[in-house]
Amino acid sequence: MSLWGGSEQDSFQKVLDAFKTKTGVTAKYESVRADYATTLQTRISGGNPPDVAIIPGIGFLRQFAKQGSLKKVADLGIDVNSLKSNYPPGILEIGQVDGTQYALMVKFNSKSTFWYRPDKFKTLGVQTPADWNALTKVLGDIKAKGQAPLGLGAGDSWTLTDWFESIYVRQAGPEKYDQLFSGKLPWTDSSVATAVDTMKQALKDDYVAGGITAALGRNFTDGIGQAFSANPQAVMYYEGGFVGGIATGQTNTALKVGESIDWFDFPAINNNKSVTIGGDVIAAFTTKPGVKEFLQYMTTSDAGSVWAGTGAVISPVKAVPASAYPNDLAKREAAQVANASAVRFDGSDLLPSGGGDDMGAALQDALRGKTVDWAKFETSIQAKWKAEK
């Protein structure tokens, strides 16, 4: 069970097909696109959990583990120690709760990819920006030429948490980022408001196609379409590496890599080029036949190479070769993460259950021009941290 649909589901189905070919075991996929976390919790509470599911955030992983819903990886008969050499440092630990392995990261994407249309940049006479000041200048230059610079699908509030995190880790630094998203630094710290103000330098009515109000009612795939459909209204769209697969496989199959779609590094702030990543972890809720085999398979380069070959994801498995990736976009994304000075996991996914949604709602309010009560947010998030313990 997962929340992937569209081209993401099609890509994962190729992995399931390869698993069946390898083992003879059929894995039936169930996609839940709306209210995934609620649906999963309802299934668990009703005694009808899926055998295996993508966990909708690390906060949920901690919650499900502590309520006894998950099966420990070791209890499935998988030797966790033998998996350590499969992954770069820190990746396996993302699936741990209090040092016990409950889940495995199966895919990730950089969230430091800023997508754009090279053809439009050429026509407009602008260059890809290396730092934030250069980005704001490019936004102004594009607008001055009568073109809306940015697409935005902020109805899905997680797109705004990604904007915030990409700015915060560069502006405040990785150490403060760790403190903020572990409950050790209060959200009333001035660094939070500073990052929000910086975000609003880019995400404002003048720069967002259709304006902010419309963007707050638009989902993220429609936001991609603003920049990459056959009739684009914008020339840039910030989101993770998964945009490439969605844009070329779903939004507009006529797109050509390097000509009508490409990406540049999310602009540096204070010379900081840290990279944020988002990823999905998979965990077992039952010990039915085939569950161990499936989780074991997902740790292999066979599974990773099949998935990488779709161009939709970056595999966390070290043995997946660069040649497995089908295009320059994906190869560069994998290299960006591998070569980053600092890599940090999606902050909203590190928050306690429900915290990411609250954070997204607060950022939506900020774009509406409301004054966010970060003291109230801090009280709420600390209560969630406490409830988790």
Confidence bin at 142 (pLDDT 50/70/90): very high
Are the C-beta atoms of residues 351 and 181 closer than 8 Å to each other?
yes
Domain 6-110+278-342: CATH superfamily, name plus number: Periplasmic binding protein-like II (3.40.190.10)
Cα 119 to Cα 235, 242, 389: the distances in Å are 9, 21, 52
Are the C-beta atoms of residues 275 and 342 closer than 8 Å to each other?
yes
pLDDT tens, position by position, 100-109: 999 999 999 9
Q: Which backbone phi and psi does 272 adopt, to 5 degrees?
A: -95, 125
Which pTM value belongs to this model?
A: 0.84
- When pLDDT is averaged across residues 152-166 and rounded to a whole number, the result is 98
Cα 252 to Cα 155, 225, 263, 349: the distances in Å are 21, 8, 16, 30
Are the C-beta atoms of residues 111 and 346 closer than 8 Å to each other?
yes
pLDDT tens, position by position, 37-76: 899 999 999 999 999 999 988 988 999 999 999 999 999 9
Residue with tokens 């069970």: 1
Query: What is the reported pLDDT for 134?
Result: 99
* pLDDT at residue 90 is higher than 80: no
Percent of the chain topping pLDDT 90? 85
Query: What is the reported pLDDT for 187?
Result: 99
Query: What is the reported pLDDT for 236?
Result: 99
CATH 3.40.190.10 residue ranges for the chain:
6-110+278-342, 113-265
- When pLDDT is averaged across residues 102-125 and rounded to a whole number, the result is 97
Q: How many CB atoms lie within 10 A of CB 141?
A: 15
* pLDDT at residue 245 is higher than 90: no
Query: What is the reported pLDDT for 311?
Result: 82
Q: Which CATH architecture has domain 113-265?
A: 3-Layer(aba) Sandwich (3.40)
